[in-house]
Amino acid sequence: MLSARAVLSGALLLSALVFQAAEAQSAPSSNQPPASDVSTLHVTSQLVFLDVTVLDAKGHPVVSGLTQNDFTITQDKKPQKIFSFEAPDAHIITADSSASKAPVTIFVLDRLNSTFEQLAYIRYCMDKYLANQPLELDAPAEVMVLGNESLEMVQGYTRNKQELLSAVDHLPSVIPYKDTRSFFAERFVQSIDGLRQIALENSGVPGRKNIVWIGHGGPSLYTSLLDDITADKVTTYIHQTANMLVNSRMSLFLIYPGLEVANPLGRPTSVISAELPIGDDDPFSGDVNFGVFVNETGGQLFYNRNDLDQLIRTSIELGSHYYTLTYQPPENIANGKFLRVRVTMRNPALHVLTKAGYFAPDKGQPSDPRFDALYHIAEAAQADVPFSSLGLTVQKVVRHRDTNSAEITVAVNTKDIGWKPRNDGKSTVDIGFAAASLSARHDILASKTEALTLINASQDSDHLEKVQGHLTMALRIPRRTRSVRLVVGSLVGGRIGSVDVDRKTIDAASDVPTPEPKLIMQPAKAPPPR
């Protein structure tokens, strides 16, 4: 049976893709998308948005000839009055229109759940797709990479094809070593947290967002194998994740990399789940996998095909030609239950792709203060004002021009960070570490967020007041970068510190090739005594 610690080793942290223990070194203290209002992370009963892709019998999007009267909405089998209606042409960028209603695309290259060969094929197909696009894309897109330790935005939203190609072409070589059973729990948590971080990053971006996830997605988890307490925690965590995606108007399109016709284990559970219709009850009860998230968010899963570039085009087409309907639920439900939403067409020959429902707020579910802390840390990375509750100084900058990236090391004065004693005589503190490459207008061009645990061998308060933590962040530096902001914050207590590095400092730094990836060999364990 899986333990709660194994499955939830980062589940309560918003963007904690993995906990990394870093020994804080003792040293004397040294003196040295357009932003928008934060939206609630709970589905509100005031207005429910439904982005509906209508398909004909051949699976092609229907983009004209339909009116509001052709649609029927029900919630838990009760008819709902359509409050507003938008046709697909309202979401097209023209010379005279704003881009705010156009759908955006988030490309996720899944290094975490792929083999080295699969990752190379994913990059090749992504390159092939982008090479066939016009110099200016029809709508903005960004590129993210889910790696061994974190989710990284390597190129923020842009319509410039060359910027997207450059981001893909300059990805550093990394050995994806976690695609084994021994890393099951970590991959599950990191993959779901990747979805959460994408939803958070896009919570203030208007309109529909399409996640085109190229890779296997996280592994499947059967909650029946867990003890009751752990299963309840996982269920709450998954329900929150589903609501974050739904509230951000996100659809998940999952593209498996390449043919698996000779797979001796049969079709993956995610593939089977994506083909099953969602009933009236919680779709995540019993089994949690990316196929269920695909169904829940109104996306699609593609499996056992080797034309990934065409599947990318298909995903974007399905996510770009849609009707937007809204309705106002008649009741303010707060029981945490799944509310099943259905959209049916007057013409039975047509069918739809749209979200399957959402989970009502649960007033009995307490919020996690660390969730809010990481939210504020991510926000601080884009803010104009400095943060000084924690002292941060830049210690070293190294440029890697071969991958358009830089490594920046900062020293953190941990005097007020909130050390907590452990039973083994050591002290520990959980922190968030975020960085963002910013344009002259403070648009995020690349970003990365990590959750770390600092550990010190002492519990002496006088000693801990003099401790400095030394943290290094590797981040892409796109062409339009004018500065990089680094932010460190304690997850309990909310203290935040920031430091900014201008482009001149980065360009003047010593340039060294990006280190080649290496697997660290662990020493063989001594045999147990007889």
If one compares 188 and 46, the residue with the highest pLDDT of the two is 188
- Note whether 406 and 466 are within 8 A (CB): no
Q: Where are the domains of the chain?
A: 4-32+369-511, 99-325
Please state the pTM of the whole predicted model: 0.76
CATH topology of domain 99-325: Rossmann fold (3.40.50)
β 25-26/467-476 pair status = antiparallel
Which tens digit of pLDDT belongs to each residue from 367-406? Answer: 666 666 777 787 788 777 788 888 999 999 999 999 999 9
Q: List pLDDT tens digits, range 56-93.
A: 999 999 999 999 999 999 999 999 999 999 999 988 87
What is 4-32+369-511's CATH topology? Answer: Immunoglobulin-like (2.60.40)
> 156-160 long-range contacts, Cβ below 8 Å, gap at least 24?
156/33, 156/437, 156/443, 156/444, 156/445, 156/446, 156/447, 156/478, 157/33, 157/104, 157/205, 157/443, 160/135, 160/136
pLDDT digits (tens, 9 = 90+) for 478-499: 999 999 999 998 888 778 899 9
- Which secondary structure element, helix H or strand E, spans residue 412, and what is its range? strand 405-413
Distance in angstroms (rounded) separating the CA atoms of residues 357 and 298: 10
Question: Which residues, in sequence order, are CB contacts of 234 under 8 Å at separation 6+?
Answer: 7, 8, 11, 221, 223, 226, 288
Measured at the CA of 392, the angle between CA 387 and CA 395, to 5 degrees, comes to 145
What pLDDT score was predicted for residue 30? 32
If one counts every other C-beta atom within 10 angstroms of the C-beta of residue 119, the result is: 25
> Any idea which residue has 């050591």 for tokens?
426
Residue 146 has what pLDDT? Answer: 93
Distance CA 104, CA 98 (A): 13
| Domain 4-32+369-511 matches domain 99-325 at the CATH topology level | no
The secondary structure element, H or E, covering residue 201 is: helix 184-201
Beta strands 467-476 and 48-55 are unpaired
Q: State the Cα–Cα distance between residues 249 and 274, nearest whole angstrom.
A: 19
**Two tokens, residue 336:** 């945490």
